[in-house]
């Protein structure tokens, strides 16, 4: 088992990171989040139940996959490229990191959310600066959103 896992990690680290995170999450989500709400579900018609399940699944998938991909492609992809062309002086990568990180944090509306996202934003910028790729940023953002989603469901 360990040799298979090591081989998978070497051949496709992002695939392993995504599926290794999402599969246990969906199992947990089914047993911990859906089953306790059966008393609430008992009063629903089948179409209402179907709609409620579809909406939860949609918002969960959007939070875990859609939002990280789009935000990272915009901020660590497009805007990073744009500001790296502007900041061509020595240390321009750090300036790009600061500008895109602050812009990323500021789109998260209220002050409390901005303060929670700011360390993540600088970490994602650091990942982009060190790796030269947006892919690790997407995986890290997905992991962050997963932890936030699990935390929100737990309380």
pLDDT in tens, the chain (155 residues): 445 545 544 556 565 555 555 566 566 556 555 555 555 666 777 788 778 778 888 888 888 899 999 999 999 999 999 999 999 888 888 999 999 999 999 998 889 889 988 998 999 998 898 888 899 889 989 988 988 887 776 65
Q: Considering the entire predicted model, what is its pTM?
A: 0.68
* Helix/strand/coil for 18: helix
Q: Which two tokens stand for residue 88?
A: 């061509």
* Burial (Cβ within 10 Å: 0-12, 13-18, ≥19) of residue 76: buried
């Amino acid at each position: 088992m360990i040799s298979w896992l090591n081989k998978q990690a070497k051949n496709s680290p992002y695939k392993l990171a995504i599926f290794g995170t999402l599969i246990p999450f969906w199992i947990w989500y089914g047993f911990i989040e859906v089953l306790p709400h059966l008393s609430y579900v008992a009063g629903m018609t089948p179409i209402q139940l179907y709609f409620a399940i579809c909406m939860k699944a949609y918002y969960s998938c959007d939070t875990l996959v859609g939002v990280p991909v789009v935000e990272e492609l915009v901020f660590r992809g497009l805007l990073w490229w744009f500001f790296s062309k502007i900041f061509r002086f020595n240390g321009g990568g750090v300036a790009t990191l600061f500008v895109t990180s602050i812009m990323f944090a500021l789109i998260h509306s209220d002050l409390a959310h901005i303060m929670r996202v700011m360390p993540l934003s600088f970490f994602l910028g650091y990942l982009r600066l060190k790796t030269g790729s947006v892919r690790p940023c997407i995986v890290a953002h997905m992991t962050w959103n997963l932890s936030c989603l699990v935390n929100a469901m737990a309380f």
